[in-house]
Amino acid sequence: MANRLPPLNPLRAFEATARRGSVTAAARELNVTHGAVSHQVRALEQHLGVTLFERVGRRLKLSGQGTTLLPVISTAFEEIAAATAGISRPATEGDLSISCVPAVLSYWLLPRLEQFTELFPDVRLRLIASGDSAEIYDSRTDVSILYGDGSWTDCWVKFWTDLQLFPVISPTLLNTRPLRTVRDIGNHVLLHADEGREWQAWLSAVDALDLMRTRHHFMSDARLAIEAAVRGQGIAIGDSMTASAMLARGDLIVPFDRSVPAMNGFYVACRTEAPSAPIVRVFIDWLFDALEDADARTEPQSRAQAAVRRRAERASRDAMPD
């Protein structure tokens, strides 16, 4: 049986490339070079005597043979990962208290909790919607997910992810009050999750800072601003992490193909001694693994760019004479 199996590394390179949709993304996931992944995929094709990918423009597309092979390989890897995780993870049970920025808790963490629960069914979670760094030092809180510069002292802190910022609007509002150019923002209400810095940064990047003189609503956190945008109350600043699900569902649209980096990022923090507890360690490890699997930092912007291009193409066709 073993002699009939293809080599493992080429199988991993093929599976990652097919799942990610590009050699570059697969190389980043596997922590190897672009050339190494390409070489491994070619080696697998030579071993099998088939072509697994076809290049369509700048994109890779699975061939018929690749389409047949992928689900079998993916299932095998998932089963191996599940089995080894069950063997190697420490026994964990009990209560775990998580403090998290409200928008991340609602739009990113809650939709993924089932994954954690399946891995650790004996862990009971207590979730706190808070962006207050004081939670780090509260003995009742085990782990905090915070937005900031990571400069908190006398605690354990690890950078989690950065963000790209961009305007988001409901499709209903966009249809009734179009955004053909950046200048049309002046006809809308700006929804803020801070005192105005994020909108200032984006408008400055598109040379339209004077539009800060339009109407405004200020919210205490990003979750409220996003909810107001979904309900058509104005335009909010979304980010590449928390807005992804709503972009995928079509609840929100990115009207302009331009983003700016956020001033701060998300960090995972806790009391200095907390990571030594297995129950805390497994949650932190899962948190980083889940983020990597979601690939949330780039996906929303790709969808946004595609949507902008489609609208531009439709506008161009509509403008052509019959």
Q: How many domains does the chain have?
A: 3
Q: Which helix (H) or strand (E) holds 293?
A: helix 278-294
Average of per-residue pLDDT across 315-319: 41
Please indicate, yes or no, whether residues 272 and 128 belong to a single structural domain of this protein.
Answer: yes
Sheet holding 260-261, edge to edge: 216-218, 190-192, 235-239, 164-168, 260-261
**Residue 115 belongs to domain with CATH number:** 3.40.190.10
Please indicate, yes or no, whether residues 245 and 129 belong to a single structural domain of this protein.
Answer: no
Please indicate, yes or no, whether residues 242 and 197 belong to a single structural domain of this protein.
Answer: yes
pTM of the model: 0.65
Model confidence at 320, in pLDDT bands (50, 70, 90)?
very low
Digit-coded pLDDT (tens) for 158-210:
999 999 999 999 999 999 999 999 999 999 999 999 999 999 999 999 999 99
Please indicate, yes or no, whether residues 131 and 14 belong to a single structural domain of this protein.
Answer: no
Would you state the structure tokens that stand for residue 302, as one six-digit string?
Answer: 């790709």
- Does residue 287 fall inside a structural domain? yes
Please indicate, yes or no, whether residues 148 and 269 belong to a single structural domain of this protein.
Answer: yes
Would you state the structure tokens that stand for residue 72, as one six-digit string?
Answer: 């079998």
Please indicate, yes or no, whether residues 127 and 201 belong to a single structural domain of this protein.
Answer: no
Please indicate, yes or no, whether residues 63 and 194 belong to a single structural domain of this protein.
Answer: no
Please indicate, yes or no, whether residues 156 and 285 belong to a single structural domain of this protein.
Answer: yes
Structural domain span for residue 30: 2-88
- Does residue 320 fall inside a structural domain? no
- Does residue 319 fall inside a structural domain? no
Please indicate, yes or no, whether residues 104 and 67 belong to a single structural domain of this protein.
Answer: no
**Of 82-86, 124-128, 208-212, 294-298, minimum mean pLDDT range:** 294-298
Q: Which helix (H) or strand (E) holds 54?
A: strand 53-56
Closest C-alpha among 265, 275, 283, 266 to residue 156 = 275
Answer with the residue of higher pLDDT: 84 or 184. 184
Q: What is the pLDDT of residue 76?
A: 85
The 8-class DSSP code of residue 89 comes to S
